[in-house]
Structures are given as structure tokens and as C-alpha cells.
Amino acid sequence: MTERNQSTLEFSIEESVWLNKGQEVEELYTVDLNPEVTIEEVDDQICIKGYLCLTGEYRCADQTEEETASEESTYLGYRSFSQLNEVSDDVVKLDHRFPVDITLPKNRVLDKDELTVTVDDFNYEMPTPSCIEVFAAVSVSGVYENQGYVSEGFENQESVYENDDVYETREEDDEDDHELYEGGSNPFPILEFESRRSPEPDEHEEEMEYKAERREPQVEFLSRSEERYDYSDAYGHLSDLRNSDTSEYEEEYEEEEEPYRPDEYEYEENDEEYDYEEEIEENDDHEEVESSSHRPPREENALYLTKMLTREDEELTKMKMCIIQAGDSLDSIAGRYDIPASQLMRVNRLESEEIEEGQILYIPVSVR
Amino acid sequence: MSMDILELIEKHYPLKPLHWKHKNEVLETDAGTKRVRIWTDERTMTWHFNWREQLESNTLLTDRMIRTLDANWFLPFEDHFLTLHDERYEPFPKHSHEQTWGMLLGKLLSQGIEQPIYENEHFSETREQMVQQYGVDRSDLNIPILNRSLPEAKRRIRTVETIRNRYRHLKIPSLEPSILTHQGKRVHGRLFWQGGNEPPERSMYGLCDFLSDWRLATDTKSMYKLLDAIHDHFPLEGGYDQLLAADLIAPREVQRCVRRLDSTDDHSVSEILDQFEREWESNRTLVEEVCRWIEHRAKKVIR
């Protein structure tokens, strides 16, 4: 054991926090990103769970500015001292949590007390007063390289604004985590994401589970909520799913189309976008078209994930990512997760059944 | 120095100084009490000379510069200038004399527009400059009661800016920065106005201070009469009423508070803040009342 090299798992996080109307930032006083995690041994896994806490203080933009400006033409005067809000109303606490759920095989960890999660690099931008873009590099140190499997997870959950002035992070449902390693024998490296965005907790959920690969344990997630995208884009994919053999998707996505507001979903990454209409046509033609030939390059899978993660109306997006190890095949992965290989190909937009070590596969998870 | 001044006055003025009442400021003479003013800036002195001369009339007296034996209105004094003025103490009544006071203020405003001044005739401050000028950016003082007021103070500045922009075409009167009721004295039943010696400012702040002072000494109704009387001599409608309101709305109590806080020790902070709150509320009431008068005048015009 001691001769193994110690390595570090690194995650690049690029997230956006959107602030509700009336909570826009006029002046950001402080902002910080800190990990708050617990490390536990569960069977033959080491689970790192908790949050990356984005905290700080800012002064709310004066939303009455425009109103005041328009009122100035008729109203001359100002408020009494007793009518002035307390200063605390003006200075708003920022408290946003990005859930973290990292699972490692025990054989990759010499001593769980050695494990540390650190934010190595943190930066932010504010493209608009209502958006804080967070860029961070997070690393888990105390991990050792070996012949075994590594599983990693990053669970992403967006906070929900339950009311005008309080940020609340919804409780996460971690019950699915363990199913990734059912029986404690699944040695697959797993990255798990979960993203909830809607204030309604009990509405339909949408889960995606991805199997992913293991290369050097360095993964970069792009889940930029601020990226506006065409809803139809995401649902172009979903139309694929509709035609798939998992009927549950049909129900979910049909339900989810209802809250669609076109003006909110304009995806602008031209490089990545593909034509919804085209997808529809494909789907209308034949199912076999889906699983074959002209799929966009694999990178789109990540984009798809991004889109799924960033939809604001999304109830719950759960994804599993599996890092392919030596000796794995598409069939073995499909069997392990009890999912048709064809669906894996579709979801991952694979052109053939060949997969290679280090490749990441996304595995849809059944909704419970 | 004081001896020199007395000798100088005795030599050049047709009066005999007796003794200082307030050293280097007020002296008793065989022709009554006189005030000495020393001017470091000739332009400021000239501005003050001009308005005093222009306002003087049968009904209104001013503390004009007393002429020397050579008929000059000032004396070179070291590197500066010296002028001599009558000094009176009996206050001119306010109640029932709003017309007289209004005439004085109206004339002050009128000549304040006409009299050349070495500054821009219009407001030129940007909002950012005003924010800085009034100390509305001083959240660094970390005083909750002050910080609490700053957003509202910023809104007030926006209002000021809006109004000034709207009436950008109007010439702004140059007035003394402070005009108070106690400067009006009664001499032979007439209003005798004793001016100051501060450099003039292109603003109506002086009038704001006067109104505030007046309202404290009288009542709202009297202030309305006074405003009517000012309007008779200097039409406020057409923008000057709005500019007056703007200058009242400008958060000068924040500016005063910040200055006091900057120049005091911790012991008197609470007193400064109490005073700040009182001034805030008092000025707010004044703004409301003046604005009510403005609205009332506007309705009268429409009818």
C-alpha cells in the first residue's frame, strides 16, 4: 500500500448562481467558497458528502431606483427615518450550497482521516447584477493510485429561493447514492450529479444516470446555469428518449414541457447546439436511426448533461457517470446497470459499441 | 493689530472709534456700533458690495459699506481689505411682516441671478460628485444609523439630479451660503439686513436655510405667506420652485453629520447621530410643506 503514489482528484467547477428579482447585487462586499464535508466509511466505500458553501454579503440593488426615477417627476420628498429599512435589509447574506457527493473505493484510501477536500482556486464574475458566476478548482487529496477502481461523485444541487429574501437549500435526497454501488460490490467509478431547480419539491423528477470513465482522476464539469439555451435543444434529446424503450421518460418529459417558457431558454452556444427539428425528423423516421450513424461528436454528451443540469424548471436531474475501466464492455456496463445497451448508446451518442478505458458514460437512472 | 485698526478707522472714517465691543469685529464709535470686516478676496468683497448697494431702498436697508473720508467703500489693510458696516441688534419681527421679508429674499434672488460671478451660472455637479460631496458614500464609517439612511440619501440625490437636469436652462442665483432670520434687524421701523462675508454659492441653499429658520421661528402658514411674498418679487414658478425643493431635498444633514463624525471623538458620536436624526426629520417636514405650497401655487395658476 505504502508504495502507491498519492494522487489528487481535481474538479473544476463552473457554476452560476442566479438571484431572484429584487435580490440583485449592487455591491458585493464579501464572497467565499468553502467545503463543508463529512467523510464516512460505508461498506467498502469512502463517502465524502457535504457542500461547497458559497457565502458572502452583498448590498441589494436598489430596485426602487427606476420606480423612483419615474416618480421623481411628480413626487418631491423623502422618507422619514422611521420608514427607512434596517440596514440588514440592504445587506443580504449570500448562502448558496453546491452539494458534493464523492465516493471512493476504500482501497484507494489509506486512511480516511488523510482525505481532505480543498478549494484550490476560486474566482467569480458578475456578468449581470442577478448572476454570480463561480469558477473553482476543488481537489480531494489523500487518494492513492492503485489497480482498483476509483469512484468519484459530485452532486450538484441548486438552492431554491423559497421567498423573496431568504435563500434556502432544499434537502437532498441521497437515497439513490447507494444504489450506485449496489451490494457494495460495484467497483465502478461513479460520478454522480444531482440538480434540483424548482421550488416545487414533489413534482415529477427527472433522473439521468451516466456511467463514466476513469482516466487520470481529473474531471471537469460544466454546469453553467447562466447559459441560456433553447429548450427545444434539450428536448430534442428527450425526444430520443421518448422513442426509447423506457416509457418513464415519455411521461416525465411530457410533463416537463408544460412549464416551458421560450424566452427563458435560449441556448447560445452555437458550437454545441444542434437542430431540434432535425432530431424530431429523425425520430419520426425510424428508431434505428437514433442508435446509429450521424450523431454529433461525443462532447455533446457533456453539453447535454450541462443542459439537463441547467434547466431552470427542472425538478430533479440525477445522473450517474461511469468511468470505464480496462476490461469493461458496453454490454457489461449495460448489464450491471440493468439498462439496454442501445439506450446507453443513444444517451451517450455512441456510434459503435466500442468503449475504451477512461471513457465516461452517462447512465440514466430509473425514477423512483 | 487691534490698535492699528482703530487708528486706521479713526484716520479714514468720519467717526471716532471708542473701544472694541468684540475684538477685531465689533466696535463702539461716537456714531454708533460698527462692524469691521476684513476681506482676503477682492472679488468676494466686490460681490458683497454690489448686492448691498442694489438692495438698499426706502423700504429696505442693508449694512452697506460705510464710505471713507475719501468716499471709498473699503480700505487696503495689510495685504487685505477692510470695510466698515453699521451694526444693529433689534430683530425685525417676522409675524405679519412676511411681505417685507419676502421682498428682501425676492430681491436677493433677483440680484443673485443678475450679478456676475466667477463660476458657472448653472449646476454642473454630477451625481457621483454629489454623492461624494454629501458624504453619501461614507458607509465606511460603519455607523448603523447613518448607513441606514444612505440608500435614501442616494435616492434624494437622484431626485436633485433629475430636477436640476430638467431645469438646466435656468440660471442659478448666487447667494450667500447661509442666510438666517437673525440677520434682519429693525431700524426706524424698517428692515435692516446685515449680510455676511462668505463667498457666494450658485445654489438656493441659503434660501433653504432661511426657510428652515423661519419655519422654526414662526409656523407653516407664515412660511407660506413668506413664499408668496418671495414669489411676488422673484417668480418661483417655472422651475425655481422645483430647484428650491431640490436643494431642500439634497441630503445636507448627511454631509453635516459626516463632517461632525470625521472631526470628533467617540464621546459625542451619539449626540451627533441624535442631531442628525432630528435634522433629517425636520428637513423632511420642511420639504413636504414647501412642496405642498408648490402644488398649491400650481393649482392656482391652472385655475
ipTM: 0.76
Asked if pLDDT for residue B203 goes beyond 70, the answer is yes
- Contact criterion met (CB < 8 Å) for A76 and B242: yes
Q: In which residue are the cell numbers 421518448 written? A: A242
| Calculated CA dihedral for residues A316, A256, A167, A194, nearest 10 degrees | 20
Interface of A with B in 326-355 (CB under 8 A): none
Instruction: Please name which of A302, A221, A316 lies closest in space to residue A269, comparing C-alpha atoms.
Output: A302
- Contact criterion met (CB < 8 Å) for B151 and A62: yes
Using a CB cutoff of 8 Å and minimum separation of 24, what contacts does A200-204 make?
A: A200/A315, A201/A170, A203/A255, A203/A315, A204/A251, A204/A252, A204/A255, A204/A256, A204/A315, A204/A367
More confident residue, B130 or B35: B35
Q: Which pLDDT belongs to residue A324? A: 80
pTM: predicted TM-score of the whole model, two decimal places: 0.52
B299 close to A (CB below 8 A): no
- Contact criterion met (CB < 8 Å) for B159 and A81: no
More confident residue, A307 or B93: B93
Interface of A with B in 76-115 (CB under 8 A): 76-81, 84-87, 90
Identity (one letter) of the amino acid at A223?
S
Is position A1 within any domain?
no
B149 close to A (CB below 8 A): yes
- Contact criterion met (CB < 8 Å) for B162 and A73: yes
The band of A210, judged by pLDDT with boundaries at 50, 70 and 90, is: very low
Residue of A nearest to B292 (CA): A76
Bridge pairing between strands A160-161 and A317-323? unpaired
Q: Which pLDDT belongs to residue B141? A: 80
- Contact criterion met (CB < 8 Å) for B158 and A64: no
How close B141 comes to chain A (CA, Å)? 14
Cβ burial, residue B42 (10 Å; 0-12/13-18/19+): exposed
- Residue-averaged pLDDT of chain A: 59
How close B121 comes to chain A (CA, Å)? 24
Residue of A nearest to B295 (CA): A74
A218 close to B (CB below 8 A): no
Task: Tell me the residue range of the domain where A344 lies.
Answer: 6-65+86-364
Is position A258 within any domain?
yes
The band of A55, judged by pLDDT with boundaries at 50, 70 and 90, is: confident
Instruction: Compute the distance between CA of residue B177 and CA of residue B179 in angstroms, rounded to an integer.
Output: 7
Asked if pLDDT for residue A81 goes beyond 90, the answer is no
Q: Which pLDDT belongs to residue B242? A: 94
A68 close to B (CB below 8 A): yes
How close A68 comes to chain B (CA, Å)? 7
Interface of B with A in 229-258 (CB under 8 A): 242, 245-246, 249
Number of domain units in chain A: 1
Is position A250 within any domain?
yes
Helix (H, G, I), strand (E, B) or coil at B76: strand
Interface of B with A in 70-129 (CB under 8 A): none
Query: Taking residues A178-193, what's their average pLDDT?
Result: 38
Task: Mutate one of A58, A67, A76 to test the B interface: name it (highest B CB count within 10 A).
Answer: A76
How close B113 comes to chain A (CA, Å)? 25
More confident residue, A162 or B78: B78
Instruction: Say which DSSP state B185 is in.
Output: E
B159 close to A (CB below 8 A): yes
Is position A286 within any domain?
yes
- Contact criterion met (CB < 8 Å) for A72 and B163: yes
Task: Mutate one of A28, A58, A72, A73 to test the B interface: name it (highest B CB count within 10 A).
Answer: A72
Is position A344 within any domain?
yes
Which residues in chain A have Cβ-Cβ distances shorter than 8 Å to B156? 78
Asked if pLDDT for residue B101 goes beyond 90, the answer is yes
CB atoms within 10 A of CB A140: 25
Which residues in chain A have Cβ-Cβ distances shorter than 8 Å to B158? 65, 68-69, 72
Query: Taking residues B85-94, what's their average pLDDT?
Result: 96
Asked if pLDDT for residue A107 goes beyond 70, the answer is yes
- Contact criterion met (CB < 8 Å) for A78 and B152: yes
Q: Which pLDDT belongs to residue A313? A: 40
Interface of B with A in 1-30 (CB under 8 A): none
How close B182 comes to chain A (CA, Å)? 28
* Domains defined for chain B, CATH in brackets: 2-86 (3.30.200.20), 98-302 (3.90.1200.10)
Lowest mean pLDDT among A38-47, A157-166, B175-184: A157-166
Is position A260 within any domain?
yes
- Contact criterion met (CB < 8 Å) for A78 and B284: yes
The band of A203, judged by pLDDT with boundaries at 50, 70 and 90, is: very low
Query: Taking residues B118-125, what's their average pLDDT?
Result: 64
Q: Give the best-scoring range by mean pLDDT among A11-15, A317-321, B250-254.
A: B250-254
Is position A79 within any domain?
no
How is residue A211 written as a grid cell? 456511467
